[in-house]
C-alpha cells in the first residue's frame, strides 16, 4: 500500500476548511420539539463527523442522558429553546475529550444564565465563543502544516523503502498531533480541577461561617 502523505495533508486541510460552526443567526428563533431539534443538529453538523452518511450527531437517547446527568435543563412543555440548542452544541464539542463531571463544571456559568433576559446571557456567551472559533482556524492549519513539515524530516537516515519511510513519517505526524491534544487536554483538566477546588473551598468557608455565627448567637 502506497500512502501519498502530501495528498493526505491537503485532504486534512480541506476538511478543516469545511468545518462550519452554527452561528446565532442560523439557529431557529422558535422553540423546537425533540424531533425537530435532532433533525436540525444532525443535518447542520453531519459534515463534521467521521462518517457523514451514517454517524449521528444527536439522538433522543443522548438528550435524555444529558438531562439525566444534569448537563441540560429539562424542556418546557416538551419544547427546547435556543439556549438548549447552544448547550447541546457545547456538549457536542466537549464530549469527545472531557468527562461528564468536567462538562458539568464547564457549563455551569451557562446554566446559571439559562433563559435569562439579561444582556449577558447564553446567546451572548456563544456569540463570543463563535468569534473565537473563527479566529482559531487559520493558526491551527499553520500549526498542522508545520508539524507535517517536521515529520518529513524524520527517518531520513534509516534504510527504509520509500513506502516504509512514508508510513513512518505519517506515524511521526500523528504522534505530534496526538501529543498536542494530550497536553491541551491535561491543561483543560487542570483548569477545571482548580475551579472545582475553589468551589469546594468556598462551600467550606460558608459552612464554617454559619457554624461561627451559630456559636456567637448561642
One digit per residue, pLDDT tens: the chain, 218 residues? 455 667 778 887 877 766 778 999 999 999 999 999 999 999 998 887 888 888 888 999 999 999 999 999 999 999 999 999 999 999 999 998 999 999 999 999 899 999 888 888 999 999 999 888 888 888 998 999 999 999 999 998 888 998 899 899 999 999 999 999 999 999 999 999 999 999 888 888 888 777 777 666 65
Burial (CB count <10 Å: 0-12, 13-18, 19+), residue 41:
buried
Over residues 75-117, the pLDDT tens digits come to 999 999 999 999 999 999 999 899 999 999 999 989 999 988 8
Q: Which residues of 155-184 are buried (b: 16+ CB within 10 A; e: fewer)?
A: beeeeeeeeebbbebbebbeebbeeeeeee
pLDDT in the model for residue 1: 47
pLDDT in the model for residue 207: 81
Do residues 106 and 192 lie in contact, with contact meaning Cβ atoms separated by under 8 Å?
yes
Do residues 111 and 88 lie in contact, with contact meaning Cβ atoms separated by under 8 Å?
no
Q: Report d(CA 210, CA 218) in Å as an integer.
A: 12
pTM over 0.85: no
Write out the DSSP string of 126-168.
Answer: HHHHHHHHHHHHHHHHHHHHHHHHHHTTTTTTS---HHHHHHH
Q: Report d(CA 21, CA 204) in Å as an integer.
A: 40
Amino acid at each position: 500500500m502506497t500512502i501519498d502523505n502530501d495528498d493526505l495533508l491537503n485532504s486534512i486541510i480541506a476538511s478543516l476548511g469545511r468545518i462550519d460552526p452554527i452561528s446565532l443567526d442560523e439557529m431557529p428563533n422558535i422553540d423546537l420539539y425533540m424531533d425537530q431539534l435532532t433533525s436540525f443538529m444532525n443535518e447542520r453538523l453531519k459534515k463534521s463527523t467521521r462518517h457523514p452518511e451514517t454517524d449521528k450527531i444527536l439522538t433522543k437517547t443522548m438528550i435524555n442522558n444529558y438531562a439525566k446527568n444534569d448537563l441540560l435543563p429539562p424542556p418546557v412543555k416538551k419544547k427546547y429553546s435556543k439556549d438548549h440548542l447552544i448547550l447541546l452544541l457545547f456538549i457536542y464539542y466537549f464530549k469527545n475529550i472531557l468527562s461528564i463531571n468536567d462538562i458539568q463544571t464547564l457549563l455551569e456559568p451557562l446554566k446559571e444564565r439559562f433563559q435569562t433576559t439579561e444582556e449577558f446571557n447564553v446567546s451572548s456567551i456563544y456569540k463570543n465563543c463563535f468569534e473565537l472559533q473563527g479566529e482559531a482556524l487559520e493558526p491551527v492549519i499553520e500549526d498542522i502544516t508545520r508539524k507535517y513539515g517536521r515529520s518529513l524530516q524524520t527517518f531520513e537516515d534509516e534504510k527504509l523503502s520509500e513506502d516504509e519511510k512514508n508510513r513512518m513519517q505519517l506515524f511521526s505526524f500523528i504522534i505530534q498531533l496526538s501529543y498536542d491534544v494530550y497536553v491541551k487536554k491535561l491543561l483543560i483538566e487542570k483548569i477545571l480541577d482548580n475551579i472545582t477546588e475553589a468551589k469546594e473551598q468556598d462551600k467550606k468557608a460558608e459552612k464554617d461561617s454559619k457554624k461561627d455565627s451559630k456559636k456567637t448567637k448561642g
